[in-house]
Amino acid sequence: MKTISGKKFCRLLERKDWNLKRINGSHHIYVKTGVAARISVPVHSNKPLKIGLQGSLMKLADINETEL
């Protein structure tokens, strides 16, 4: 799987209709109407997300690898 930065993942979430609820430090918290889950994305400049974290966030947001 290709890893992407937190900033790019945030842009991908926003294209999938997730809304930025708040920013707590360096973590951006996203919510979506009709979905009970919240997604917290760490944004540390342009550092890539860890592979396990990115995989679990993708599963929560229903994003597949082709959309990266």
Query: Which pLDDT belongs to residue 3?
Result: 95
Mean predicted confidence (pLDDT) in 2-15: 97
pLDDT digits (tens, 9 = 90+) for 21-60: 999 999 999 999 999 999 999 999 899 999 999 999 999 9
pTM equals: 0.94
Distances in Å between the Cα of 42 and the Cα atoms of 1, 2, 13, 34, 59 are 19, 17, 13, 23, 16
Which pLDDT score, from 0 to 100, does residue 32 have? 97
Indicate the fold that domain 6-67 takes in CATH: Metal Transport, Frataxin; Chain A (3.30.920)
- Tell me the per-residue pLDDT of 19-30, one tens digit each, with 9 for 90 and over: 999 999 999 999
What is residue 13's predicted lDDT score, i.e. its pLDDT? 98
**H or E stretch covering 21:** strand 19-24
